[in-house]
Amino acid sequence: MTESNEAAEQSASSAEKLELYELGFHFVPTLSEAELAEQAAAVRKMLDAAGAIVKLSDGPKLQVLTYSFERRVAGKKESFNTSFFGSFVFEIAREAVESLNKSLKENQSVLRFLITELPKEALLPKERPLPASGYSHDPKKGAEKPAGDVKPISEAELDKTIEELVVE
């Protein structure tokens, strides 16, 4: 077997061992913009250090929480009604998830996080059904046109129809 075939076989077998995951996380809302950027970069470095291949990311954005979240910090109870939420979708070896989990738990800026396994199909483009409105699209012509015959309507008929539809 040639060296290139062996390398291709090794990379194929290592790719088979990678699983697809999503990490959703909340940062404390007390972070400044500079600190927020630093913390997001720190989470990305944790992923890189664990050997993750990031496929998608959504930077942290401030959001109102559905319920208050309490956490003890330095012996004092703090309550949060907002947080910065962000997420990453990545591939990683199953064995490396535990070390990533531990690293995230140690980060004091992370209020809460969740790592979920995704099916491989999650990143595939989805087929969208055609609308049931009777319109068809011919890519060669470019514009959508109504299917079937459409009769022109006079301005008076249009006004009458609009008046019937408008409820005061």
The SS3 of residue 156 is: helix
More confident residue, 47 or 151: 47
66-77 pLDDT tens trace: 999 888 877 888
Model confidence at 144, in pLDDT bands (50, 70, 90)?
low
Q: What per-residue confidence (pLDDT) applies to 141?
A: 55
Question: Which of helix, strand or coil describes residue 113?
Answer: strand
Q: Apex CA 155: angle with CA 152 and CA 156, to 5°?
A: 115
Question: What is the percent of the chain with per-residue pLDDT over 70, rounded to a whole number?
Answer: 76
- Percent of the chain exceeding pLDDT 90 equals 52
Q: What is the pLDDT of residue 161?
A: 85
Cα 162 to chain center, whole Å? 42
From CA 46, how far away is CA 149, in angstroms rounded? Answer: 60
pLDDT in tens, 79-133: 999 999 999 999 999 999 999 999 999 998 999 999 999 998 888 777 766 666 6
- According to the model, what pLDDT value does residue 152 have? 82
In CATH terms, is domain 17-121 a member of 3.30.2000.10?
no
Does the pLDDT value for residue 4 go beyond 50?
no
Domain boundaries along the sequence of the chain: 17-121
Q: Which two tokens stand for residue 50?
A: 């664990």
| Whole-number pLDDT of residue 147 | 57
What pLDDT was estimated at residue 167? 67
